[in-house]
Structure 1
Amino acid sequence: MSQSPLSEATDDRLSEMLFQGEEVEDEFTVEGARVAVTTHRVLVFTPDGDGRRFDHADRPNVLDANVETTGQDSYVEWGVRTGVYGAVLFGGGFLLKTSGILDQLGAANPPENTPETGVTELVSLLPKALGTLTTGLLVGGALLVLAALALVALYLSSRERELVIERAGDDPMRVPVRDDDAEDVARRLRAAVGTGSKPRSD
């Protein structure tokens, strides 16, 4: 994190966005983004960002400034669902395999006096069908559990720290940060704007 007065900055694109009579009171540079507190607004300029390159909020609408760790929550939701389904399937297959039902059915023989009917064929086919079902449950459950772990890994890789500037009536302004000084930037922003907010910890 570095502080650079706007009047001394080599890139004056942010200064071109000031209103007439608007003056910069404080400015910070964080991970390629420039955050300026003026007499009227809080300005965020990210010339190399993927989203909006310029955003702002009137000072009375700025509610808070904190550093948060965020990620793709949808990965967690799908990971939990997939993991639950996988555990249920794998558990069902494991119970069938360890219960001894398959062995009992395999050892069962129809009575000697029973004529060759569909009952005899059913008794002979049932162990094979249950064996196939058990294998399917075990394999399917294991694959779903692996998929759940992969989704959790994707969520962890998507996590990043952001400087979050909350504003009334609109979505917060978010700036990706990696500096250890990001908390200090948030604190100085709160002090400059006068929100009276307290830092949050994740």
Structure 2
Amino acid sequence: MASRRTDRIDEWRERADELCYDGEHVERRIDLERATVVVTTQRVLAFVPHTSGPDFRHVDRPNVGTVTIETSQRLAVLCAGVIAAFAGVAAVETATTVEFASFVPAAGLEGIAPLPGSDLVVGLVEAALAAVETALVVLEWSVLLVGVAAFVVAVALIGYYVRSRARLLVVRVSGDEDLVIPVTGADLADEPVADLEAAIRPGSGSPSTLETGKGRRASSRDRADLEESG
């Protein structure tokens, strides 16, 4: 289904002239790896089939502002990765520098040896202390493993952040959402910003209808002046 949708928008990309209004024609076409931008005498048409937004958008040229290359960044992912890295450092440092078993107190039961049943008491106390020591050793290893796991998570998050960064061609639109078009390194080598800026600038192509209208009005005034002088 997605492939058919992409094929359909690709067909429209090749036949963008069919989308022109009466009196409108294509002046500039910029083909990118994952998008196509067409500048007509009246509008900017953008075919962007590989994004989550609409496959096609069009904007009247007077509403188009600046064109820039920007980088999308998911700072929340980067912050989570940095926090995980700090947590990993803290956990590993604690596990390697602090000997948890040293917190087990000495039994100190020498004075009760002559008492009846002292062997049983000593055995119970030593068993309890041994259990506490084992628990602390397990805790030490758990803290170490948590630190290692935090490091793994940090590396994964930072790697995802680096991979998820994308270069975007952003066309500012007055009164509406900007046109956001993904670009690649190969696209940037062809300087699409300069081409698009030049194409959308007034008077960049053939005379516009507005300029033709001015010419007609000027001719009418000239004829009126001649009639009055005659």
TM-score by length of 1: 0.72
Verify: 1:111 aligned to 2:113, yes or no: no
Aligned partners of 1:87 and 1:141 also within 8 Å: yes
User: What CA RMSD, in Å, does the superposition of the two structures yield over aligned residues?
Assistant: 3.1
Secondary structure of the residue that 1:16 maps to in structure 2?
A: helix
- What's the counterpart of residue 197 of structure 2? 190
Q: How far 1:128 moved relative to its partner? A: 2.0
| Higher strand fraction (1 or 2) | 1
Q: Residue 145 of structure 1: CA displacement?
A: 0.8
Greater radius of gyration (CA) = 2
Partner residue, 1:172: 178
Aligned CA distance change for structure 1 residues 32 and 121 (closer, same or farther; 3 Å)? closer
d(CA) in 1 for partners of 2:175, 2:88: 42
Q: Which amino acid aligns with 1:66?
A: T
Structure 2 unmatched ranges of 5 or more: 1-11, 113-117, 203-230
2-structure distance, mates of 1:88, 1:10: 54
Does 2:131 correspond to 1:129? no
> Is the CA contact (8 Å cut-off) linking 2:43 and 2:61 kept in structure 1?
yes
SS in 2 for 1:146: helix
**Partner-residue secondary structure (3-state), 2:38:** strand
Structure with the bigger percentage of helix: 2
* SS class of match (1:162): strand
**Matched AA of 1:144:** A
Partner residue in 1 for 2:67? 65
Identical counterparts, % of pairs: 29
Q: Which one is further off, 140-149 or 171-180?
A: 171-180
Query: Which of 84, 91, 94 matches 1:92?
Result: 94
**TM-score, with length taken from structure 2:** 0.64
d(CA) in 2 for partners of 1:119 and 1:62?
A: 82
Measured in 1, the distance between the counterparts of 2:196 and 2:42 equals 14
CA distance in 2, matches of 1:73, 1:180: 25
Number of aligned residue pairs: 181
> Quick check: 2:13–2:47 contact (8 Å CA) kept in 1?
no
Are the structure 2 counterparts of residues 32 and 145 from structure 1 closer, same or farther at C-alpha, using a change threshold of 3 Å? closer
Is 2:89 aligned against 1:55? Answer: no
The structure showing larger relative contact order (alpha-carbon pairs under 8 Å, at least 6 residues apart) is 1
Instruction: Pick which of 130-139 and 180-189 moved more.
Output: 180-189
Shift of 1:143: 0.8
Q: Aligned partners of 1:10, 1:40: CA distance in 2, in Å?
A: 18
| 1:81 corresponds to which of 83, 88, 92 | 83
